[in-house]
Structure 1
Amino acid sequence: MKVRRVLVASLCAVSLVGTSACVTDPNTGHKKVSRTAIGAGAGVVGGILLGGLIGGGTGRIIGAGIGGIAGAAVGYTMDKQIRELKEKTAGTGVDVTPVDNGQAILVNLPGGVTFDTNSTLLKPGFTTTLDQIAESLNKYPNSLVDVYGHTDAVGSDSYNQTLSENRARVVADYFISRGVTPARIRSTGFGKTQPIASNDTPEGRAANRRVEIKIVPVTQDDVARAKGSN
């Protein structure tokens, strides 16, 4: 939550051309980032988000040969990809949401439909859904992709850490096998350290067993900075 506030504060402090990057939520009264206004400040936003990616963004941008999205088109492109991903994965248990105040996409793959218990083998029936996600990643190539593995709190720390790392790597490797440029993708496991629900109930533990795919758009300004620092 603290990181989230810092990100909003940083964006609200940026003066955009002709408009503000922040609007007031009429329900909460809190400031939030407007995707429709962020185009002019996309370079600032991209720099913040890329810095939080696994391994940073510079080398991955150059290695992937990404051209970048024009700043003004970032919001439109993200909205379109989110809408298409939701349509493609409807009814599968996959959840697609904007994160980082609307500047990145998070695709949540529930563990129960992705892997069997204590297994790192993808369920055969779920590969069709992963194919659709890979198709989206290939259709929208101007982004970097992190794959995060998570577990519940049952079992030892070391076992859960290894399991989460292996599951994240399996999903990342699957995307690469479907044509996603390897330089765009990184994977890591968090074990049981980042629960999204209580581990005291079966439902909570099921929610915590998941693989997340974070998609961060890369702008033309990000590409220019990456090449300039290389």
Structure 2
Amino acid sequence: MNSALKLIATATAFTLLAGCASHNPYDPQANQGSSNKTAIYGGLGALAGAAVGAATSSKRDRGKGALIGAAIGGAAAGGYGYYLDRQEAELRRSMQGTGIDIQREGDLLTLVMPGNVTFATGSDEIAGNFYGPLNDLARSLQQYNQSIVEVVGHTDNTGSRSFNMQLSKRRAQSVGYYLESQGVSAQRLNIQGVGPDQPIASNSTAQGRQDNRRVEVQLRPMQGAYE
């Protein structure tokens, strides 16, 4: 069985399992049908998308076409949550071991990139070992292109506020411009620096200041996406 057919079979099995789960009378979530419907419709959409993707791709690229079709079809049928579930899972795999933390709250997905990974102290030049994760992120943003990408730079409170505001903005710009250079549409990018104004830890300790020095990339649904 080729890869495209395997993917279609997997989507079919997922749909059938989701359907069985939604009809389990002993399931305490049975009365909360929204998540079950998302799973069912997402699975059906993935199946249809995989079939279309495989059918419209060349023989060599049929497996890849089925995969992309499954993601698009599943998202259209299951909503933005289904779409983001897939992107989150793939990003967690690609960012594993990089020091980048991925946080999810509803339809907001945030990648927290600590300062010791991204930039040298006082610099807005991207660190050499940070290009790999940024390349992975750029590829994900191109494949999953129904989100607004907010790049926000943060600093600790060491030094003047004016300097930190400028540094945080330059760092956010470095990340945003690099993503753009790797094919992410500039129309999707919002770039800002907030300096020391949004700390996540106390600036009274070295560890707290290190935690506060970071760049966050936040993915939000485009207005009207999958409504």
TM interval, shorter chain, is 0.5 to 0.7
1:38 CA drift (Å): 10
Please tell me whether residue 185 in structure 1 is matched to residue 189 in structure 2. yes
CA contact (8 A) 1:38 1:75 kept: no
Amino acid at match of 2:173: R
Larger RCO of the pair (alpha carbons < 8 Å, separation 6+): 1
RMSD: 2.3
CA distance in 2, matches of 1:188, 1:38: 38
1:70 CA drift (Å): 3.3
Structure 1 partner of 2:111 = 107
Query: What's the TM-score, normalizing by structure 1?
Result: 0.65
Please tell me whether residue 160 in structure 1 is matched to residue 164 in structure 2. yes
Normalized per residue, the structure richer in helix is 2
CA distance in 1, matches of 2:211, 2:36: 34
CA distance in 2, matches of 1:71, 1:37: 13
Please tell me whether residue 207 in structure 1 is matched to residue 211 in structure 2. yes
Amino acid at match of 1:166: R
Task: Count matched residues.
Answer: 160
Match of 1:94 among 87, 96, 100: 100
CA distance in 2, matches of 1:171, 1:114: 9
Identity of aligned residues (%): 39
Normalized per residue, the structure richer in strand is 1
Structure 1 partner of 2:180 = 176
Query: What's the TM-score, normalizing by structure 2?
Result: 0.66
1:71 CA drift (Å): 7.0
Q: Secondary structure at the match of 2:201?
A: coil
- Deviation per CA, 1:17-69, whole angstroms, max 9, x where unpaired? xxxxxxxxxxxxxxxxx983897xxxxxxxxxxxxxxxxxxxxxxxxxxx9x6
The runs of at least 4 aligned residues of structure 1 exceeding 6 Å deviation read none
CA distance in 1, matches of 2:166, 2:177: 16
Amino acid at match of 1:36: S
CA contact (8 A) 2:152 2:217 kept: yes
The structure number with the bigger radius of gyration is 2
